[in-house]
Structure formats: structure tokens, C-alpha cells
Structure 1
Amino acid sequence: MKNFIKRLLPKRFRHEETVIPVVRLSGAIMAGGSALRPALNLASVAQMLEKAFSMKAASAVAILVNSPGGSPVQSRFIFARIRQLAEEKNKKVFVFVEDVAASGGYMIALAGDEIIADPTSIVGSIGVVSGGFGFPELLKKIGVERRVYTSGENKVILDPFQPEKESDIDYLKTLQHEIHDVFIGMVKERRGSRLKDDPALFSGLFWTGVRALDLGLIDGLGDPRATLQARYGKDVKLQLVTAAKSLFGRRLPGVDASGPERIAAAAADGLAQTVEERALWSRFGL
């Protein structure tokens, strides 16, 4: 009854609370993911972003970023989707950094019209890294002969079971430089004159929120509630937007309970992803 009466009043007499949808983007950024451990990528967050930006009464959307990075492609996809929705729906985007927004995590954070971090957040790592292992002598030691047949002289470039070649490394570095240039261009376009002229800015280093503010990588220090209350008043309501769930909770995609071999495969994928994700987080002491 109270809400019905409230709707009858002229708009200027209504006391309506301001609602800001909040989307949390957390984890290592990688395509696919596993059934047991979903990854942070466009497919996993698209529905939440659409839902948040579709809230007509909200003039802004808050995005919480907590990611050590990962796939530059998925990072750019998420960044681009946020900007597309912000422009289509005419909404301001606040990005709040939690523990870390580094590498691809910072690339996503660039989608914010304002980026706010905690003084102890880790921000930056504007660079590109590739990693792997080499086993050129392993097969020989265990008595296994590897046979590879290719059409195309570069089909086995960077093969971990062959000795490392200088030409392969040079080619990989060329790719890294090209991706790095794209990343730098995004930072300069989005941050503009706020950036300080510091030679370490695009070196891959990362900093605390305090130093990131000084470098112009972020716009302020604080937490979501206090920041949004200062902008929209103490009655502002933060509404967390989550992915849709089935009747019995979130379904694990790709897992067939009647097929134990599929469950085992999903578990193996999840373990590999966990190791990769752990390596990304540990680089920042987390």
C-alpha cells in the first residue's frame, strides 16, 4: 500500500533512494575455464553486465575488479563491452580496485570513467608476459622418440621438446611488443593528461594504490560505499548483480553425472587452471 501511494504522488514529492548496480569481476582472465572452476572472460560476465546496465533508474554502474591479469584478448573483450554498454545506456562507470588490478585486470579497469583503489591495492603491470617450460633432453633420457610431421617450416616454432632457437624468441618478442603497444595505447587514450611522465609507467612494474594515484593510473583512494555515498548521498543503495542460477543452484556446464570420464576430464582441466591462476596471483604476493 505504501508503495502504491508513493507512485500516486508527483515525482517532485517522492523520496526515492538511488540504486547503483554493482558487478564483481574477480579471478584470472582466461578463455573457456573449466566446469569446476569458471574463468573470468566475456562469456562468464556478459549476462551480469547486461543486467546491470539495463537498470533504467540507475545513473551509474559500479564494477569491482580483482584480477592479476591473464588473456589480453578476453581483457579487451570485457573492456569493450563495458564501454559499449556505458555509451548505449548513457551511464557513468565507477571501477573499484580490490586486492589487485594488474596487467589484464588493469586493462579492464580502464573501462571506468573513474578508477578508485584502496591505498594498499596493487595496480599496474602494464606489460606482456609469456611463460613455459623446455624439455629438449627429457624424451631422450626416458627412451621415448618423438615424431612430428609438418607442412610449413614454422609449425613447430617454440616447441618445448626442441632446443630453443634465437629466431623463435625474436618472433615471440615481436608479438609481445605489438600487444604491449595496444595496451599502452589503451592506457593513454583512457587516462590522457592524468598520466604522469614516468619512464617506469609502461615497464611492467606495479604499485600500491597510493603510488598509482600519483602516477595518474587511478583517480582516487577509497571504498565503494563511502565513495558512492559522497557522490549520491547517504541513502544510496548498492545492489550486487550476479549471474542467473538454475532452480537447484548454478549448473556446472559440461559435466554429465552419468559419465565419470567427463567428470575426471573436467577435474583435470580445473587442476591445470588452478595452477595457472595460482601462478598469476603469487606474482603479486597474493
Structure 2
Amino acid sequence: MNNDLGSASTDRNWERATLEKLVFATIKEQQSARRWKIFMRLVWLAIIGAIGWMVYTNNTVASSASTPHTAVIQIKGEIASGAEASAEYVVDALRTAFEDKGAQAIVLLIDSPGGSPVQAGIINDEITRLKALHNKKVYAVVEETCASAAYYIAAAADNIYVDKASLVGSIGVLMDGFGFTGLMDKLGIERRLMTAGANKAMLDPFSPQDDAQRAYIQSMLGEIHDQFIEVVKKGRGERLKVTPDTFSGLVWSGQQAVNLGLADQLGNLDYVAREVVKAEEIVDYTHKENVGLRLARRFGASVGEGLFVAARSAGVQLK
């Protein structure tokens, strides 16, 4: 009889313990679900906030440019597709600045060793078009360097201002590479190259240089050089004092550039805004990576990690 009572008591204790476990498990699951809902709401709030921030940053220039001002577009670093000084970004900034009624003139603030003649040509052409369309002046202000493709762009400006120690010029075209045929011969390496087209492997660094191909490339570089020279002559006009070295690829100091007619006078950004444009307020139209987009990307990475942690804490398996 006592054994039966003990057995019944044990069963009741087991049932109670099982029920308690089930209740606690249910409560824990409900708490996890609530935490997950709260987390997802925070995620959506953050996304909405990021979108609002992007809209705000996109409209910052327009809202700050209601009064008369000097519009500045920086051209810094390599001029190349995908770079900050690419035609895509510079042209977009130019159009925004020209279309803003508050912008009294546009200043190209240049510090670049050059880059792609194609990108520079696109920018030069667009400056010429926009000047005629909006009847606004464009001034180039050189900081450290304005060479090669950078000078190609500056030539479209109405006036070029430099520091006396700036580096200006390098009106030339180059194409460089390496040749490894001698080293391959010493190492006993055989080049096995198959092509369809007699000139398909032109400039291949592991093959001997072909005189006919070299002459072809040289003529092509000469043609691009002539285009560069024409742009400079058109932009500088009678101010340019042509010498045998003008288009040789040499660079000059800012003071020498003024003497040669490659630049107009010494001056910096503040001087041009104050004394030339007569609008001391400066508004920067330079393309910059949108802060909202950058934060959104970083936020996206954080969200991914947060989702993983939250899913793991909620008992969700990611496979």
C-alpha cells in the first residue's frame, strides 16, 4: 500500500516538473518572439531613417546654395573612370553648379597629375557646352599639380590661377609597359601564344616588339597628342606663347606657366571667389560618396550579423 502511494506521489511530481518545463519553455519562446519582433521593428526604423538621411544629404547643396556664391568642384587625384575625378562625377557636379541660379561662377579646384585623355575630353567638352548654355564663367585654380589630362580640363576654363610653386603642363601622351623577352631567354622560358589576327598580340610584353606595330602605336599617340594641342590652343588663344618645348611634355612652375601663357596669374580659391567672382561664400559641389548610402551599407552588414545572432537566440537554424 505504501509502495502504491509512493509511486503515485512520484508520478505527480514528474507531471508537475514536466508541466513546469513546458510552461517555462512556452514563456521563453514567447519572450524570444517578442524580442524578434522588437528587433525587426528597430531594423525597419533604422532603414527608414537611413533613407531619410540620404534624401537630406542629396538636398544639402541645393538648400545651402540659395544665396549668391562661388561654386567649387574639386578635381583631385587620378582622372579615370570610376575615380572621384571621373567624367561621370565631375560632369554631374558641373551640371548641378551651372543650373543653380545662386552660383555666380564655377571654380575648378585642381590638384591632379593627370590620367585618361578620354575622361578629360568628356569633361572639357561639357564645360564648353555648359558655359555657352548658361553664360557663366569657369575658372581653374591650381593647388599642387595640374598636369597632362588635368591641364586638358583646365584649358576649357576662362582663366587659370596658380600658385608660384604649382606644377603645370606635361602636354603630352604616353603609353608604357614592360618587355620580358630577354629575361625569358636567360631563364629558358618559351612563349607559346596563339592568336587569330596578325595584330591581336600587339604590345604583348612576352613577345619581341614589332617595328610595324610600334609605328602604328606611335602614330596613334601622335594623333591624341595633336588633339590635346588643339584643345590647349583653342582654350588659351593668343595668351599662349608657343615655344619648341610647350607641347613636349615638360612641366613648369606656376610662375613659369604664367610667363608662358599656360596660366593667367597667381591666385588661390579665396582670392578668386573674393576678387574675381565677387562672391565670397563658397559652396562645394564636388561629388562625394553619399553619407547615407555609406551608413546604409555599414548598417546592412550590422543587420546581417544582428539577424544571425537574433535568429540563433530565438532557436532558428540558418543552413
TM-score greater than 0.5 by the shorter chain: yes
Matched, 1:242 2:292: no
What is the DSSP-based 3-state SS (H/G/I as helix, E as strand, rest coil) of the residue aligned with 2:201? Answer: coil
Matches within 5 A, 1:8-23: 18-23=68-73
1:97 match? 142
Q: State the distance in 2 between where 1:70 and 1:251 align.
A: 31
Report the secondary structure of 2:152's partner residue.
helix
- Following TM superposition, by how much is the alpha carbon of 1:92 offset from its aligned partner in structure 2, in angstroms? 0.5
1:18 positional shift = 3.1
Q: After TM superposition, list the pairs within 5 Å mapping 1:38-117 onto structure 2.
A: 38-117=83-162
Aligned position for 1:26 = 76
Q: Deviations over 1:24-77 (max 9, x none)?
A: 011112224xxxxx3522123232222211211222111111111111111111
Task: Give matches, 1:187-266, under 5 Å.
Answer: 187-233=232-278, 236-243=280-287, 245-249=290-294
In structure 1, distance between residues paired with 2:202 and 2:208: 11
CA contact (8 A) 1:18 1:232 kept: no
Residue among 210, 218, 228 paired with 1:183:
228
Q: CA deviation at 1:236?
A: 1.9
Look at both structures and tell me which one has the larger radius of gyration over its CA atoms: 2
Could you say which structure has the higher helix fraction? Answer: 2
Q: Tell me, in whole angstroms, the C-alpha distance in 2 between the residues paired with 1:83 and 1:141.
A: 54
The letter of the residue matching 1:93 is V
For residue 154 of structure 1, what is the aligned residue in structure 2?
199
Helix, strand or coil: the match of 1:249?
Answer: helix
CA distance in 2, matches of 1:230, 1:50: 24
Q: Is the 8 A contact 1:61 1:91 kept in 2?
A: yes
The root-mean-square deviation of aligned C-alpha atoms, in Å, is 2.5
What is the rounded CA distance, in whole Å, between the counterparts of 2:295 and 2:95 in structure 1? 19
- The equivalent of 1:129 in structure 2 is 174
Contact 1:137–1:161 under 8 Å retained in 2: no
Give the distance between the partners of 1:159 and 1:250, measured in 2 at CA. Answer: 44
Residues 90 and 286 in structure 2, CA contact (< 8 A), matched pair in contact too: no
SS of equivalent to 1:178: helix
Give the AA of the match of 2:85. L
Structure 1 residue identity aligned to 2:212? S
Separation of aligned partners in 1, 2:147 and 2:115: 9
Relative to the length of structure 1, the TM-score reads: 0.75
**Larger CA deviation: 16-25 vs 188-197:** 16-25
Shift of 1:231: 2.5
Query: Structure 1: which amino acid aligns with 2:156?
Result: A
1:160 CA displacement: 0.6
Q: Is the 8 A contact 2:77 2:85 kept in 1?
A: yes
Q: Distance in 2 between matches of 1:178 and 1:250?
A: 46
Q: Secondary structure at the match of 1:22?
A: strand
Q: Residue 150 of structure 1: SS of its match in structure 2?
A: coil
Cα-to-partner distance string for 1:150-203 (whole Å, 9 max, x where unaligned): 222111112110112222222221111111111111111111111113211111
- CA shift at 1:139, angstroms? 5.0
The residue that corresponds to 2:209 in the other structure is: 164
- Alignment length, in residue pairs? 234
5+ unaligned residues in a row in structure 1: which ranges?
1-15, 33-37, 258-286
Shift of 1:148: 2.5
The 3 A distance-change label for structure 1 pair 39 and 130 is: farther
* TM-score, length of structure 2 as denominator length: 0.67
Superposition misfits of 4+ residues, deviation over 6 angstroms: none
Aligned sequence identity (%) = 40
